[in-house]
Structure 1
Amino acid sequence: MNIQNPQGSSAEDRISFDRRELGQILGLYGRMVAAGEWRDYGISMLRDRAVFSVFRRAAEHPLYRIEKTPRLRLRQGMYAVIGLDGRVLKRGHELPQVLRVLERKLIRAIED
């Protein structure tokens, strides 16, 4: 696990996940680790978004990024799951709904 804080930014001007959001994300993360799909994660708190990145191995690009971008909350929704290739897999206003795209991958991993 690594947490990034860009130098020069104070806690007030960073976006972060709240306790409830982290609980939902870490619940999914734990199930995916138990299924052998994920192995590591990183959290970045930036000025315009918070990012939870999921890795299969620590030394590679993230498989998925779960992003919270509050400025999009009145448009497409502030939560998004982004794939390895940069495509938005799901975007929405409710985090559990957005995480369902990854839950389906968990079900497939258990069935295999």
Structure 2
Amino acid sequence: MVDRANGAEGGEGSAILIPLQDIRRDRETISVTFDRRELDQILRVYGRMVAANEWRDYAIDHLQDRAVFSVFRRTSEVPLFQIVKNPKLARKQGAYSVVAASGNILKRGHDLARVLNVFEPTLRLVGA
């Protein structure tokens, strides 16, 4: 006799059978997110750019295949930049990228801090 509640024959057992397709379906519905460390790095850059009056608003999208932090000059416009986390590219070009409003990828890499360096001010030689 099979005990359907426990998934075992004739009595006590700890084995429960779960169809593999259910697990795959549940895993596909989990969206990609930024973790606390990543958000801290991104918001540090965002705060500096807001203080410089360059950026004014942001949006965070957690999609099934990637997470996107979009930066706006004004709320009604298209994003100036998008900071994208795409785990599928982690072994190839790097999971993180900065995309301009034109769609050009400004920087891509494995380390978020290095990718965010694209927003660092460049030093210029000032004539005396």
Counterpart of 2:43? 26
- Structure 1 runs of 4+ off > 4 angstroms? none
For residues 1-112 of structure 1, what are the structure 2 equivalents within 5 Å?
A: 13-104=30-121
TM-score normalized by structure 1? 0.83
Greater relative CO (CA pairs within 8 A, separation 6+): 1
Unaligned stretches of 5+ in structure 1? 1-8
In terms of fraction of residues, the more helix-rich structure is 1
Distance (Å, rounded) in 2 between the aligned partners of 1:87 and 1:75 = 18
Task: Give the count of matched residue pairs.
Answer: 99
Root-mean-square deviation over aligned CA pairs: 2.2
Unaligned stretches of 5+ in structure 2? 1-25
TM-score normalized by structure 2? 0.72
- 2:42 match: secondary structure: helix
Work out the percentage of aligned pairs sharing the same amino acid: 57
The structure whose Rg is larger is 2
- Return the offset for 1:102: 1.3
- Return the offset for 1:104: 3.0
